[in-house]
Each structure stands twice: as structure tokens, then as C-alpha cells.
């Protein structure tokens, strides 16, 4: 139960993100399919809708945040290349 309540928010590229949160890294085509499936649903608890961070910079990434049914904050990131994960 403690994991479902964000202790506080941090800022990444000017956007507030919940801390703590669970995350998954996907290749961009997988992330785009996931984002489209989630956006097509009306029952998603969005914390941050799909967006691109660090556009045009090393480490460019697509990201979205949702809450799962238990209230846990989840982040899904997409990268064109996994070598870019720690580039920013």
C-alpha cells in the first residue's frame, strides 16, 4: 500500500513526475503502439499523457505516466535506440 502513494513530485524537463514510480523502457515502435492503445481507452488514469522529452538532444525519449488499478504510478519510456537510455 505504501508504494501506491507518491511521496512527492520531481521535475524532469520542467514536467512534474511522481516519486516513487515504477518504470519500463521500450523500443520506440513498441512504445508508440502502447501509447496508442492507452489513448484509445477512456478508463486510463493519466498522470502525464504521451510526450517527447529532450527533443533533438542526446537521450531523446518518449514518455507517459499512468496509475495502475492499485494506484501505483507507472512510467513507460520509448527510445529509438537502447544505447540512448543514459545519454541525457
> Which distant-in-sequence residues (6+ apart) come within 8 Å of 79 by Cβ?
25, 26, 27, 28, 31, 60, 61, 62, 85
pTM: 0.79
Q: What is the pLDDT of residue 84?
A: 74
Cβ-count burial 26-37 (b if 16+ within 10 Å, e if not): bebeebeebbee
Please give the residue range of the domain that contains residue 20: 2-84
Give per-residue pLDDT as tens, 12-47. 666 677 888 899 999 999 999 999 999 999 999 999
Averaged confidence pLDDT in the chain = 85
In CATH, what number is assigned to the domain containing residue 43?
3.10.180.10
Count of the separate structural domains present in the chain? 1
Amino acid at each position: 500500500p505504501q508504494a501506491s502513494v507518491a511521496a512527492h513530485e520531481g521535475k524532469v524537463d520542467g514536467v512534474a513526475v511522481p516519486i516513487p514510480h515504477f518504470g519500463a523502457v521500450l523500443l520506440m515502435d513498441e512504445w508508440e503502439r502502447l501509447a496508442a492503445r492507452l489513448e484509445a481507452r477512456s478508463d486510463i488514469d493519466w498522470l502525464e499523457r504521451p510526450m517527447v522529452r529532450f527533443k533533438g538532444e542526446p537521450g531523446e525519449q518518449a514518455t507517459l505516466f499512468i496509475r495502475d488499478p492499485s494506484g501505483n504510478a507507472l512510467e513507460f519510456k520509448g527510445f529509438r535506440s537502447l544505447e540512448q537510455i543514459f545519454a541525457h
